[in-house]
Structure 1
Amino acid sequence: MALPPRPGDQLASATSSTRVIVIRAPAGMAGRIECGGTPMVPARDAPAGRPDDEPSGTLIGKRYVDAADTLELLCTASGAGLLTYGGQPLQIKAPKALPASD
């Protein structure tokens, strides 16, 4: 990508059906967001006719974060391939516990 992604940007994998929305991105982002080792592209520039693949890498509705918790992506379409940022795998964000009610 030429410009670093901003919150609200929609990205798509060039090799699978994975799509994400950027929820949070660090200022001055240095690394690339990749899926399955291939840089993600703006969703509007994604190639048409990608084969439907087994959703074994990303899961729809899950939020993915980097180790420093500065980048957050929301998966809007499942697909093959793992999400990475700067060569490091992104992890599924743990849900926040709700307060107990009596």
Structure 2
Amino acid sequence: MATTFRTGDQLASTVCTTRVIVVRAPSDGIADLSCGGSPMVAAAGGRPAGAPAAGAVTLLGKRYVDANETVEVLCTAAGTGELTLAGVALAVKAAKVLPASD
């Protein structure tokens, strides 16, 4: 049985240095979040081992969302693995356009 992650959970990749925090999740949680093709796991305390390689795929401080924006994660440590949900790549969340204050 797969582990279900909920809002606020800190997750780590098993194949690279990527770490994320779940910002938004459905009420029944997220069961199939992966990084670099391997399922993510609950993050242990401390910092990730190693450093991200040049050209990291997951970018520090960026938010990643699924197509419907029902799942959102915040990258807290960059890495070389691609974040996917049920085999579909997550996209970097676009910044909201603020109204001009002329």
Gaps of 5+ in 1: none
TM-score normalised to structure 2 length: 0.87
Aligned residues: 101
Name the structure 2 match of 1:52. Answer: 51
Q: Give the direction of change, closer, same or farther, for the CA distance of 1:23–1:94 in structure 2 (3 Å limit).
A: same
Post-superposition shift, 1:99?
Answer: 1.1
| Partner residue, 1:85 | 85
Matched-pair contact (CA < 8 Å) for 2:5–2:30: no
Query: TM-score, normalised to structure 1's length?
Result: 0.87
Quick one: percent identity of the two aligned structures? 53
Structure-2 separation of matches of 1:82 and 1:49: 17
Partner of 2:70: 70
- Does the C-alpha gap of structure 1 residues 45 and 2 become closer, same or farther in structure 2, counting only changes over 3 Å? farther
Structure 2 contact 6–30 (Cα < 8 Å) conserved: no
Over the aligned positions, Cα root-mean-square deviation in angstroms equals: 2.3
1:45–1:88 Cα change, 3 Å:
farther
User: Structure 2 unaligned runs (5+)?
Assistant: none
**Structure 1 stretches (4+) deviating beyond 2 angstroms?**
27-31, 48-53
SS in 2 for 1:69: coil
1:20 aligns with: 20
AA at the equivalent of 1:20: V
| Aligned partner of residue 99 in structure 2, secondary structure | coil
